[in-house]
Amino acid sequence: MSEYVTKETFEKMKEELHRMKTIDRPAASKAIAEAREKGDLKENAEYDSAKEAQGLLEAKIKQLEGAIATAKIVDPGTIDTSRVAILTKVTITNVATKKTVTYQIVGEKEADLKAGKISASSPIGKGLLGKSKGEVAEVQAPTGMIKFKVEEITI
């Protein structure tokens, strides 16, 4: 499945992949070689640990390569603010509590609730996508149905 990301996040993903391949991978190989030199591999916990760490690193590299290959870069300049979409900032009011909050709808890789960024695949994100100013989104939460009124949509 492709992931919507900003150009900035895409560049960070490429930098992280480069670091993993050029710094972390050689370090893992070196750790295995050092552990191998310490004798019998059958009873060498250090060797087993180094091999396991290398396996986890290779899995992370493969996952990141896949994410980069399928990433869809979203340009903020092309976003239509008449409806809630990826990268829009949406101000919503909880109909029951009258509490108003603003969230930016982002892809899963960028989601950070403390920074006001929620994933488009989260329950609230899914409920808000496609809504226009003034519409009410009904979101199924563990505590029951929550209604949010869309107050404003910006970039």
Q: What radius of gyration do the chain's Cα atoms show?
A: 22
Q: Is the Cβ–Cβ distance between 102 and 117 less than 8 Å? A: no
Q: State residue 2's pLDDT score.
A: 64
Q: Which residues of the chain have a pLDDT value below 70?
A: 1-2, 41-42
Instruction: Please report which helix (H) or strand (E) contains residue 32, including its range.
Output: helix 25-36
For residue 153, what are the contacts with CB-CB under 8 A and spacing of at least 6? 81, 82, 83, 84, 88, 89, 90, 91, 132, 133
- Domains (range + CATH), the chain: 4-73 (1.10.287.180), 76-154 (3.10.50.30)
- Segment holding 133, helix H or strand E: none
Asked if 151 contacts 133 with a C-beta cutoff of 8 angstroms, the reply is yes
pLDDT for position 80: 80
Confidence (pLDDT) at 5: 80
What is the reported pTM? 0.66
pLDDT at position 9, please? Answer: 83
